[in-house]
Structure 1
Amino acid sequence: MSGLAALFGRGTAGLPPPAPVEFGWLKLPASPNTCLAAPPGAHPQAHLLTRPLPIPVEAAWPKLQAVAAGFPRTWKLAEWPERFQAQWVQRTALLNFPDIIAAELTSGPAGTGLFLYSRSLFGHADFGVNRRRVEAWLAALDAELRRG
């Protein structure tokens, strides 16, 4: 990935081709510029826990897609519908920095599980941006589920 191409690109331009995230094996970097939300007990490094969604994975998938589409400066980077996983890029308003958001829905005995991972591609610290983003996406998904 060319840093300049990623910084000066629009949408997904300049970003490397994405690969699915293996959430079970994901090792978070030592830098504080990420945030991972995961179902309880699903990942030892999770910053936030997600509660089970009260609908089947197949019904939650379009709701997750709608939530992502509602955020500004956010473009779908890739999706793997067979595994209910997608990635988006959200660019910062001021300097156009690209951050990557990955989400996956899983079926479980308590309902639909959600992994949501936001990470900065540049820099070491993010001043809490990724955590606030994950919290905003979780709140938006909760609102979308309440709407029915």
Structure 2
Amino acid sequence: MRIIFWLVLLAIIGGLAWIRLAPSDPAVWHVDPQVTADQDLASGVRRRLPGSETTLRALHGIILQTPRTEVVAGDPSEGRVTYVTRSLWMGFPDYTTIQLEDGSVEIYARLRFGQSDQGVNRARVLGWMNALNAQD
């Protein structure tokens, strides 16, 4: 019985380590957001707002101020950037891609692990959009 306890504990610790340390493959996450309309999804959110390269750069600056957020791939000068934002305690990664497309800035934020993000990505993206509007 004691061995089972330690095996289960080891499996839990290994799973948590994988969540925190799993690599972020740009080939998987740095993709076209394909935002055709605003959508609230169980696993994330899609938003589209009017904008230019200036808007994309401003949003990039706002996103980089978000705690535990870093660039996975891209740059505003390329027209697309993907970020990973990790939760405070468990380090769960959420990926957000922003892209300039036909006079609009597309935003696609989604989780990596699980079935539902409990609205975390929606709240984060709306916060970014509010900060962007406050700059105008």
Normalised to the residue count of structure 1, the TM-score between the two structures is 0.67
| 1:44 alignment counterpart | none
Q: 1:105 to 1:98 in 2, by over 3 A?
A: same
1:15 aligns with 2:27: no
1:66 aligns with 2:61: yes
| 1:32 alignment counterpart | 42
Structure 1 stretches lacking a partner, 5+ long: 39-49
SS of residue matched to 1:79: strand
- How well do the aligned residues superpose, as a CA RMSD in angstroms? 2.5
Query: Partner amino acid for 1:37?
Result: R
SS of residue matched to 2:84: strand
Structure having the higher helix fraction is 2
Q: 1:123 to 1:7 in 2, by over 3 A?
A: same
Looking at structure 1, the residues matched to 115 and 90 of structure 2 have their Cα atoms a distance apart, in angstroms, of 16
Structure 2 stretches lacking a partner, 5+ long: 1-14
Q: 1:129 aligned to 95, 120, 123, which one? A: 120
Q: 1:71 to 1:62 in 2, by over 3 A?
A: same
Looking at structure 2, the residues matched to 142 and 25 of structure 1 have their Cα atoms a distance apart, in angstroms, of 20
SS of residue matched to 2:58: helix
1:100 aligns with 2:95: yes
% identical aligned pairs: 31
Q: 1:25 to 1:91 in 2, by over 3 A?
A: closer
Q: 1:124 to 1:139 in 2, by over 3 A?
A: same
Shift of 1:107: 3.7
Normalised to the residue count of structure 2, the TM-score between the two structures is 0.72
